[in-house]
Amino acid sequence: MVTRSVPCDVTELRTLFLFERLDEHQLDWLCRNGRVELFEAGYIYRENDVATSFYVLLDGELVISRRVGHEDTEINRTSQVGAYAGAWRPFFGEGVSQTLDNTLRATRPSRLYVLAADKFAAIMREWFPMPLHLLEGLFLGMKNTQRAISEHERLLALGSLSASLMHELNNPTAAAMRATAALRERLAGLRRVESSVRQGLDLAAWKSLETLQHKALEHLVETPSLSPLDATDREDELTGWFEVHGITTGWRTAPTFVQAGWDVEWLEAVAEAVGDSPALEAAFDWLHHTIDLELSLDEIDDSTSRISTLVTAAQQYSQVDRTPYREVDLNQLLESTLMMLAHTIGDNITVVTDLDRSLPAVPVYAAELNQVWTNLVENAVDAMNGRGRLTVRTARDNDQVLVEIGDTGPGVPEEIRSRIFEPFFTTKPVGAGLGLGLDISWRIVVGKHHGELSVESSPGDTRFTVRLPLTSETQRPEY
């Protein structure tokens, strides 16, 4: 930006609404400590630069814009004399960010009064102490209120997720406890029956029976599940065989043998190994206990694996013991969120995932992005009233990664579509939400990650799309 200094005129400064109440001494101070510069058309400062000066328009035209994704979005265009921009927060001190949150550009040669940031801060504290304290209190109060409400929203989400996790953990935990209790009973029964069987068989018959036992346990791994109707037919078939052979416990053991994949051919093999002797019923009882024991172990293994998967998902979701900003697999974040929200999503919503497994790791604040996914998924579930199709898709879009969360709800009406990212705006009944979910999501995606968050909606097809940069040279600033 090419500039040149021109004389500062006290009389001209007095005409500006910012300075019209100042006395001659103050106006003279402004001219002595500031300067008037003529700027050619072009950028005066850019967003995220350190705020070094306070600017007041004397003549010309200025455009203020902010970065949204990869584009500058114009916020204001003005030729109003006295319009100001730049370092207006230095008087708040180091507790407030001193980087610029917008870009200032002159559209044509423009004349501006320029005052260094430290000198602007000094006159604010000296000339306007009471208004400054009021402004500082208002500004910091708004920041604290926003932070407190955002934290409240996070705690509400955490409470909901905790309830969902407890529900998901309860089922496998209860199953493992049931199987463990049954295991003790079956072990005692196995020891009792085994002694009886061994006493009634010679060594060759016992070895043949042991061989069948090993084959049966190996067969458990390969056994396909039957439909309920086919399983009932198989149970009837086995029970009939037991009755023909005078085995009175067949009605009790048949379901276990069917679950293990046995048919009449297996029963005949046992009868052939043991022979038609009084020990045959005890042999089947022993095999029943053996298989039942193995099935209980499988149930415990499945349950504990489910618990482990849920705990891993919870750790992935919360990012416990992880650095806040790091490269992560976005697909894993989405999968952990869906698992954590399984209870919230419910059984009447079909979840369809289309995840691009070739996506590279992306530098992000992982825990906060999980909050974005949670907000978008919960909004989709609410929009569908618990019944419909939830779609989660990832893809690469040039130098960005795209995450799309869609639902089959009634859609977002066009007349409110431009307002849904505003803080405290909500269409939910009073008490059902604070209207901060999408505002928080916007600030995390756009403000903190310099990404994009948009929505496309029509009845039966609403899609929220998040775009995030694939690379980052430096850590993103706090929002």
142-194 pLDDT per residue, tens? 565 556 555 555 555 556 566 666 666 666 777 777 777 777 777 777 777 77
| pLDDT > 80? residue 316 | no
Q: What percent of the chain has pLDDT over 90?
A: 23
pLDDT value at position 223?
64
Percent of the chain with pLDDT over 70: 76
- Residue pLDDT, tens place only, 60-82: 999 988 776 556 778 788 999 99
Contact 166, 315 (CB under 8 A): no
d(CA 306, CA 173): 9
Domains of the chain in start order, with CATH, are 3-127 (2.60.120.10), 165-309 (no CATH), 320-469 (3.30.565.10)
pLDDT value for 133: 55
pLDDT of residue 477: 43
pLDDT-based confidence at residue 114 (cuts at 50, 70, 90): very high
pLDDT at 26: 92
- Is the predicted pLDDT of residue 91 greater than 80, yes or no? no
- As a whole number, mean pLDDT of residues 366-372 equals 84
Instruction: Determine the average pLDDT of the residues in 396-406.
Output: 92
Distance CA 471, CA 362 (A): 7
8 Å CB contact between 405 and 341: no
Average pLDDT, the chain: 79
pLDDT band at 394 (very low <50, low <70, confident <90, very high): very high
pLDDT of residue 218: 76
Q: Give 199 or 83, the one with higher predicted confidence.
A: 83
pLDDT at 256: 85
Sheet holding 42-45, edge to edge: 42-45, 103-106, 62-68, 71-78
Tokens of 64: 């203020």
Cα–Cα distance, 6 to 334 (Å, whole number)? 58
pLDDT digits (tens, 9 = 90+) for 37-47: 999 999 999 88
The single residue listed with the structure tokens 């043949």 is 208
Non-local (6+) Cβ contacts of 124 within 8 A are: 91, 132
Which of 111-115, 124-128, 197-201 has the lowest average pLDDT? 197-201
